[in-house]
Amino acid sequence: MLSPRQIFEDNIRPAELLLKVFRLLEHDAPNSEVRFHQTLRELVNADQDEQMMVIFNEMFLGLIRERAEISPASIKRSALCNLLRQAVVTSCTALETYLPILLKNHLPEIIDLRGRNFVPRDKDTAEQFKNMTFSLNDCIRVLTNPDPIFVANKMISYLDFSYLSGKRGVHVTAALLGIERPWETISRRLLRGEEELKKVLNDAVNRRNDIIHRADRDRKNPDGPQQEIPFAWTRQAVDTVKVVCLCLDELVKERLKNLRENATLQTEEES
C-alpha cells in the first residue's frame, strides 16, 4: 500500500514534468538558419520540399516534420503557456489529494493516542467543522463504544464535502494531526516567512480556480484577456506546494513517533 507521501509525489511529478517540457520547447521563434536546416534535412533524409520546423535553445534541439501536422502557432509561447497553467492545476490537485489521504492514514491513531485532547481549539478548525453534526445514533455509539476509527471516518467524510485546500486546508490537517501552530512550525522548518508561504500557496489555488472556471481570466474581469503566467511564478507555486506537503509529512511522522513513545512510557509506569 502506498504511503500518503508516495501518493503525493506521484501526483506532483506530472506538474514538474510539465515545467520541464515548457523549458525544453520555450523559444522566441522557430530557427530559420538555412545551413542548419539543410544539415538536419540531410540527417533525416527529408525531401527538399518537405516543410520542417526547428526549435533550438540552450537545452533542446527539436525537429518537427511536416507529417506531424503541427503549425507554428501551436507551439508559440502563448500556446506553450498552457503547459504552465496545467502545472498549476496538477500541483493543486496533488495538494488536495494528499491532505485527506494523510488524515485517513493517521487521524484514527492520533485520536486513540490523544483522546479528547486531539480536538484543536483554533478558529480555522472550528470554522472548517462548524456545520458538522452527529446524529442521535452516532452520539449513542460514541458514548457506549468509544471508537477512534468511527470518529475519524465521520470527520474525514465531512471533510470530503467541505473541501480541504489552500492555507486553511494545510492548517486544519496539521492541527488535527497534533501539530501546534502549523504554519509557524512549517515556515520555521523551511526557513521561509510564514505569511509569504501562505500567500504563495493561496495564490496558486486561486489561480487554479481561474484556470479551471474562467480559462485563466481574472474573476474580476471574466470577459477580459487571459492572465500572463510567467515560468518563474509557476515554478515557485509548484515548488511551494511540494515543499509544504513534504514538510507536513515529516512533522506528522515526528509527532506520531513522540506520541507513541509517550504512550509506551505511560503504560510502563502504570504497570
Does any domain span residue 35?
A: no
Classify residue 68 as left (phi > 0), alpha (psi -120 to 50) or beta.
Answer: alpha
Residue 9: count other Cβ atoms within 10 Å of its Cβ.
18
Q: The C-alpha cell of 255 is what?
A: 509527532
Closest residue by Cα to residue 200 from 156, 163, 238, 150: 238
What's this model's pTM, rounded to 2 decimal places?
0.84
Can you say how many angstroms the Cα of residue 258 is from the centroid of all Cα atoms in its chain?
A: 27
219/270: higher pLDDT: 219
Q: Are 263 and 113 in contact (CB under 8 A)?
A: yes
**Cell 480559462 belongs to residue:** 215
pLDDT given at position 161:
55
Residue 246 falls inside a structural domain: yes
Helix 182-190 / helix 231-270 crossing angle, nearest 10 deg: 110
C-alpha to C-alpha distance for 52 and 72, rounded to whole angstroms: 10
Q: Is residue 46 assigned to a domain?
A: no
For residues 189, 190, 195 and 199, what is the CA-based torsion angle, rounded to 10 degrees? -140
Q: Average pLDDT, stretch 70-91?
A: 92
Q: Is residue 237 part of a domain?
A: yes
**What does the block give as the cell for 253?**
511522522
Paired with 54 in beta bridges are 31, 63
pLDDT in tens, 139-162: 777 778 777 777 777 777 776 655
Q: CB–CB of 37/102 below 8 Å?
A: no
Which cell numbers in the block locate residue 18? Answer: 510539465
Q: How many CA atoms lie within 13 A of 212 on its CB side?
A: 12
- Report the percent of the chain where pLDDT is more than 90: 48
- The model's pLDDT over 200-216, given as tens digits with 9 standing for 90+, comes to 999 999 999 999 999 99
* 37 assigned to some structural domain: no
Q: How far is CA 230 from the centre of its chain?
A: 18
Identify whether the C-beta of residue 19 lies closer than 8 Å to the C-beta of residue 232.
no
Q: Structural domain of residue 211, as residue ranges?
A: 73-270
On whether the CB atoms of residues 76 and 70 are closer than 8 A, the answer is no
CB atoms within 10 A of CB 136: 7
Domain count within the chain:
1
The pLDDT, as a whole number, for residue 232 is 97
- Which pLDDT score is estimated for 271? 65
Q: Is residue 2 part of a domain?
A: no
Question: Is 164 inside any structural domain?
Answer: yes
Could you tell me if residue 58 is inside a domain? no
Q: What is the DSSP letter of 133?
A: -
